[in-house]
Structure formats: structure tokens, C-alpha cells
């Protein structure tokens, strides 16, 4: 097995940037396609939703899938991830985080493509997704009603959901899903939807408020048929300060 002597950092003589370090041909190593697939979570009326596309091209034409695209050889992969979501949602700076890499040989029926899963959280009310060149259509699909997905996208989605549930317990990511100004009951409902649990109202507010991560606005809900709730916003600055001191958000 002569190839065993290759190390990560040796290279192809043919790649775009190639430098011929050795006389052996490394071309065969440089045949991978790289893609990004995005799991975009949105939240609306107490339901967690996912952004799915209807595929407009083979393979799996007509099937539901996650929005994703091949990465250009001269494009950073996190830039590619941002590009995909910008095309779909029009948002420029989006919270996006990797979940993991999917690198099985046979995951793509038409070639060796490894993909990186990203997840993202957005406030549905703020952004109206529009099908671009991408696909026949883009839709918010309720988490409870996810259809069968193309490729290994079902697995990617499940993994992203697990990561989200994990993260939301230990980091204040949940605020990304809410409008900037929200009531404590909204926040509670969001957590209950994300984690499939029920919390006591009084205890929930005490926990959250005791962290001092919310700024109480001098503004209330409007047009509700009951006592209007006080609105809050997330104090990102304070969170960054606290975290620098070793504070860790829990539940």
C-alpha cells in the first residue's frame, strides 16, 4: 500500500494551487465535491418549522430536500453557507453554526460529495423566503409534518434538531427565533416547543430574569384581549461580558 506514505498535507500536482512536491500523482485525491446543506429553523405561532425546498432538478427531482449547494473551489465553506441562505431569505448576516460533516462514500448517487450541515435560526415573521434559481419552491414545513427527504437529508435534519436542543439548554440561542421585542410568555412557549416540556410560569420567569440577560422595555403588548404583557429584549452585550467571566447559561 504505497499510498500509506501520503500525509494530509501532500498535494495534487493538478489542483488549482498545485505544487509538485513528489513525483507520485495525487490527482485521485482531488476529486471530491464539497457541499453545504442548511437546516433553517423558524418559529411561528408556537410551532417549530423548517425551511425545505422542492427540488427542481435531478437527482431526486420533485422531492423535498434541505437547501444546499456545491461550494466553489475558491469559496470558503462558511461563506457558501451564508450565500445559500442569503439567496433564499435575503438576510445578510445570519446566525449559522456547523453541525457535522457527512462523508459516506455512497451518500450521493452521482459522485463523491461530502457535505457540511449547518443550522440556523430565524424569526419567520421577519423574512419571507423566495424560491430562487434554487428550486421549484421554498416552504416552511412544520416539524411534526416533515416528509421524506432526498439523500441523507433526513439524517442531517435529525442531527441538527438534536444539536439545537442541546444548544438551547446551554446557550441563549433561542432569542434568534423570536422577534427583537418579546414577552416572557413567548419565550416560555418557545422553550416548551423546542424541548417538549412544560414549565411553571412563575418559576420560569424567576429563572430567566435572575440571569439579568433581558432588558425590560418600557413598552407593552398591544391589542390583546387581556392584560398586555411587558416586552423585553435580549441583552447581548451583557451576555458577552458575563461569558467572558466564565458564566455559562443553563436552561
Strand, coil or helix: 134: coil
Q: In whole angstroms, how close is the CB of 223 to a second copy at the nearest point?
A: 39
DSSP 80-120: HHHHHHHHHH--SS--EEEEEEE--TTSSTTS-EEEEEEEE
For 28, the grid coordinates are 485521485
Rounded CA-CA distance 222/201 in Å is 21
Rounded CA-CA distance 23/62 in Å is 47
Eight-class DSSP state of 196: T
Q: Applying CB under 7 A, which part among 19-27, 135-143, 171-179, 227-235 lies near DNA?
A: 227-235
Q: Is 218 in the site for DNA (CB under 7 A)?
A: no
Q: Applying CB under 7 A, which part among 69-77, 100-108, 172-180, 220-228 lies near DNA?
A: 220-228
CB nearer to a second copy: pick between 70 and 209:
70
- Virtual torsion, Cα 112, 87, 171, 99, nearest 10 deg: 0
- Binding DNA (rule: CB under 7 A), the pick from 19, 105, 202, 244 is 202
- Binding a second copy (rule: CB under 8 A), the pick from 55, 124, 186, 208 is 55
Q: In whole angstroms, how close is the CB of 74 to DNA at the nearest point?
A: 49
Q: Is 159 in the site for a second copy (CB under 8 A)?
A: no
Contacts of 143 (CB under 8 A, 6+ apart): 47, 48, 49, 50, 161
Q: Is 220 in the site for DNA (CB under 7 A)?
A: yes
Eight-class DSSP state of 212: T
Residue 199 host element (H or E): none
Closest CA relative to residue 36, chosen from 74, 6, 2, 66: 66
Residue 157 host element (H or E): helix 153-170
Determine how many CB atoms are found less than 10 A away from the CB of residue 119: 25
Binding mask 115-144 for a second copy (x = CB under 8 A): xx---------------xxxx---------
Q: Is 200 in the site for DNA (CB under 7 A)?
A: yes
Q: Is 196 in the site for DNA (CB under 7 A)?
A: no
Q: Is 184 in the site for DNA (CB under 7 A)?
A: yes
Q: Applying CB under 8 A, which part among 22-30, 43-51, 137-145, 226-234 lies near a second copy?
A: 22-30
CB nearer to DNA: pick between 4 and 227:
227
Residue ranges that bind a second copy, judged by CB under 8 A? 3-12, 15-19, 21, 26, 28-37, 55-60, 65, 68-78, 87, 98, 100-101, 103-105, 108-116, 132-135, 150-151, 166, 170
Residue ranges that bind DNA, judged by CB under 7 A? 183-185, 200-203, 205-207, 220, 224-230
Amino acid at each position: 500500500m504505497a499510498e500509506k506514505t501520503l500525509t494530509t498535507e501532500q498535494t495534487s500536482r493538478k489542483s488549482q494551487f498545485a505544487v509538485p512536491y513528489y513525483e507520485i500523482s495525487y490527482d485521485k485525491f482531488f476529486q471530491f465535491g464539497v457541499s453545504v446543506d442548511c437546516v433553517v429553523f423558524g418559529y411561528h405561532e408556537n410551532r417549530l418549522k423548517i425551511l425545505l425546498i422542492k427540488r427542481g432538478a435531478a437527482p431526486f427531482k420533485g422531492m423535498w430536500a434541505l437547501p444546499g449547494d456545491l461550494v466553489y473551489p475558491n469559496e470558503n465553506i462558511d461563506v457558501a453557507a451564508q450565500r445559500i441562505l442569503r439567496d433564499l431569505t435575503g438576510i445578510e448576516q445570519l446566525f449559522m453554526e456547523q453541525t457535522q460533516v457527512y462523508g459516506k462514500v455512497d451518500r450521493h448517487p452521482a459522485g463523491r460529495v461530502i457535505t457540511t450541515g449547518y443550522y440556523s435560526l430565524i424569526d419567520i415573521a421577519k423574512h419571507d423566503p423566495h424560491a430562487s434559481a434554487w428550486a421549484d419552491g421554498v416552504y416552511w414545513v412544520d416539524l411534526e409534518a416533515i416528509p421524506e427527504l432526498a439523500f441523507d437529508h433526513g439524517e442531517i435534519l435529525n442531527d441538527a434538531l438534536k444539536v439545537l436542543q442541546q444548544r438551547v439548554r446551554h446557550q441563549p440561542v433561542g432569542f434568534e427565533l423570536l422577534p427583537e421585542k418579546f414577552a416572557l410568555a413567548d419565550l416560555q412557549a418557545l422553550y416548551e416547543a423546542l424541548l417538549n416540556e412544560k414549565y411553571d410560569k412563575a418559576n420560569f420567569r424567576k429563572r430567566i430574569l435572575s440571569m439579568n440577560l433581558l432588558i425590560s422595555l418600557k413598552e407593552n403588548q398591544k391589542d390583546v384581549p387581556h392584560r398586555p404583557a411587558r416586552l423585553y429584549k435580549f441583552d447581548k452585550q451583557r451576555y458577552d461580558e458575563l461569558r467572558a467571566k466564565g458564566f455559562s447559561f443553563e436552561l
